[in-house]
A and B are shown apart, each in its own frame.
Chain A
Amino acid sequence: MDTTQLLKGVLDLAVLAVLREEDGYGYDILRRLRSAGLDEIGDASVYGTLRRLFAAGYLTTYVVPSEEGPHRKYYSLNPSGRSQLKNGGETWRGFAATMDALLESR
C-alpha cells in the first residue's frame, strides 16, 4: 500500500507532533519527519502543511537571523496547536487501534 496516500490524512498530525518538543524551520521539520521514518514526505507537503496550520491558528512564527545564509522562519506550537495535537492524537490512536484489531482478526 502506498504510504503517501496514508500520509495525506495525517500530515497535519505528524507536523504538529515534531513541533511538540522543539520549534523548527521548514527544512528542519522536513528532516525531522524523514529521520522519524516518513521518508517519502516532500518539501512541498511540509511547506504547504505549515502554511495551512499557521493559517488555521495552530502555529506561531518568528524569524531567527542566521550568520550564513538567509533568515529562518521558525514555527512553534501555540496552545491551540497543542490541543489540536492532543485531539488529533487521540483520534489517530482510536483509529489505529480499530485498524489493528481489524487486521488482527484476519
Chain B
Amino acid sequence: MNLDIAHYAAAVGAALADLPDDIRAELLEDLPAHLSEVAAEVEAEGGTLEDRLGPPAAYAAELRATLGPSAPPARGARLSALVTEAKGRLRTTDRQIGRIIGYASLSEFGQLLRPAWWVVRGYLAAWILCSVVSAGNGPQGALPRIGDSVVGGLIVTAALIVASVWLGRTASTRVKRWQRVGAGLVSAALVLFGIGLLVTVDDAATRDYSSYQEYPGQWVDASWQGGGNLVVVDSKGQVLTQVSIINLDSESYVDAKIHNCEAILAWEYERWPVLARLCRHQGLYPSESPTDAPTATTSATPSATTTTATPSATATASPSPTR
C-alpha cells in the first residue's frame, strides 16, 4: 500500500510539474501523509486508493482547482513566453548584424564558415591529442608535435582535419537533440581552448627572448678558472649592471672584470663582439663617437637594476643612460 501511495503522490506531483516550485511544494508537502490517512480508511472499507480517488491526473486537476483563479500562470507558460520573446529578439539582431556585413543574416554567414570551423576543429583536436600523447616530451608550439617530431604532429593534424570535415559533412543531417547539445558544448570548449592557445602562442611570439638565452646550454666553458673579462646576463639575456661575483668556496670576490653596457668604451665592444651584440640587443650600443659613450655610471640607482631585469622594451626607450 505504501508503494501505491508513493506512486500515486508522484503521479500527482508530475501532473502539477508546470506550477511554480514554491506553490507546488506547498501543495504536495502533506500529500503522502494525507494519502496514507485516506488509504487506511479505504482499506477498512475495501478497495484501492485509485478506486476511491480516481486517476492521479484527475486528482491533480482537482487539486489545481483549489488554488483558485488567482493561481499564478503555469511556470511552463511563462517560460515558453520568455523563450519565444528571446528567440524573436535574437532573430532581429541576427538580421541586423547580417545586413552590416552584407548578408541576409549573421547565421547565414556563419553557415558559410562552417567548413572552416571543421578544419580549425581538427587542428585543435590534433593539438590536444599531441600534447596529451607527448606530455612532458618537449614543449608544444603552434604546430602539434608527437614527442618532438613535427612531421608526426602534422600527420596527426591532417588525419584529424579529414575526420573533422567528414564528421561535419555527415553528422549534421540526422542527430538527436542531446547529441547536438553535446557537440555544442565540446565545440564551445574547443573554441575557448583555441583562444587560449592563440593567446599563448601570440605571447610567446611577441616576447622578446634574447637569442642569447641558449648560451648556458651551448657554451658552457668548463675550463673557466675564474678571472678574465665577464659579462653577467639574466635569464632573458639582459646584461646586468653593478654586479659582482662572489666565490662561495673561497668567500671572496672573483677577480674578474665584469662588463656591462653602460660604463664601457667603444674599443671594448670591438674586442668582445658578444658583448656588443648583447648590448645592441638592449638598445645600448654606443653612439658613433666612442668618447660620447658614458664613462662614469657607477652610482647604483635602483632603476638601473629594474631596467635590466625587465624585457628590452623598456630598456630601448633610453638609448643611453641619463646619468
User: B8 CB to closest chain A CB, in angstroms?
Assistant: 11
Interface pair B30/A27, CB less than 8 Å apart: no
Interface pair B65/A8, CB less than 8 Å apart: yes
Residue from the list B37, B62, B65, B68 in contact with A73, Cβ < 8 A: B37
Interface pair B62/A45, CB less than 8 Å apart: yes
Contact of A44 with B37 at beta-carbon distance under 8 Å, contacts A51-B30, A55-B26 already known:
no
Interface pair B40/A44, CB less than 8 Å apart: no
A73's closest neighbor in chain B, by CB?
Answer: B33
Contact of A44 with B60 at beta-carbon distance under 8 Å, contacts A51-B30, A73-B33 already known:
yes
Complex interface bits, A12-56 against B, C-beta within 8 A gives 1, otherwise 0: 000000000000011100000000000000111101110110010
Residue from the list B36, B37, B40, B66 in contact with A49, Cβ < 8 A: B66
A residues lining the B interface (CB < 8 Å)? 8, 11, 25-27, 42-45, 47-49, 51-52, 55, 66, 68-73
User: A46 CB to closest chain B CB, in angstroms?
Assistant: 9
Residue from the list A52, A66, A71 in contact with B66, Cβ < 8 A: A52
Interface pair B60/A27, CB less than 8 Å apart: no
Contact of A43 with B59 at beta-carbon distance under 8 Å, contacts A27-B38, A72-B37, A73-B34 already known:
yes
Interface pair B53/A44, CB less than 8 Å apart: yes
Interface pair B31/A47, CB less than 8 Å apart: yes
A25's closest neighbor in chain B, by CB?
Answer: B37
B67 at the interface (CB under 8 A from A): yes
B residues lining the A interface (CB < 8 Å)? 26-27, 29-31, 33-34, 36-38, 40-41, 52-54, 59-68
Contact of A27 with B37 at beta-carbon distance under 8 Å, contacts A42-B62, A44-B60, A51-B30 already known:
yes
Q: Is the interface of B mostly helix, strand, loop or mixed?
A: helix
Residues of B within 8 A of A72 (CB): 37
Q: Can you name 9 A-B pairs with beta carbons within 8 Å?
A: A26-B38, A42-B59, A44-B59, A45-B63, A48-B65, A48-B67, A51-B27, A52-B66, A68-B40
Residues of A within 8 A of B54 (CB): 42
Interface pair B67/A47, CB less than 8 Å apart: no
How far, in whole Å, are A71 and B68 apart by their CA atoms in the complex? Answer: 29
User: B118 CB to closest chain A CB, in angstroms?
Assistant: 56
Residues of B within 8 A of A8 (CB): 65, 68
A46's closest neighbor in chain B, by CB?
Answer: B66
Contact of A47 with B63 at beta-carbon distance under 8 Å, contacts A73-B30, A73-B34 already known:
yes
Residue from the list B33, B64, B66 in contact with A11, Cβ < 8 A: B66
A47's closest neighbor in chain B, by CB?
Answer: B34
Residues of B within 8 A of A68 (CB): 40
How far, in whole Å, are A11 and B59 apart by their CA atoms in the complex? Answer: 16
Residues of A within 8 A of B67 (CB): 48, 52
User: B202 CB to closest chain A CB, in angstroms?
Assistant: 61
Closest 3 CB pairs of A and B: A48-B66, A69-B40, A44-B62
Residues of B within 8 A of A26 (CB): 34, 37-38
How far, in whole Å, are A45 and B61 apart by their CA atoms in the complex? Answer: 9
Interface pair A48/B37, CB less than 8 Å apart: no
How far, in whole Å, are A66 and B53 apart by their CA atoms in the complex? Answer: 23
Residues of A within 8 A of B31 (CB): 47
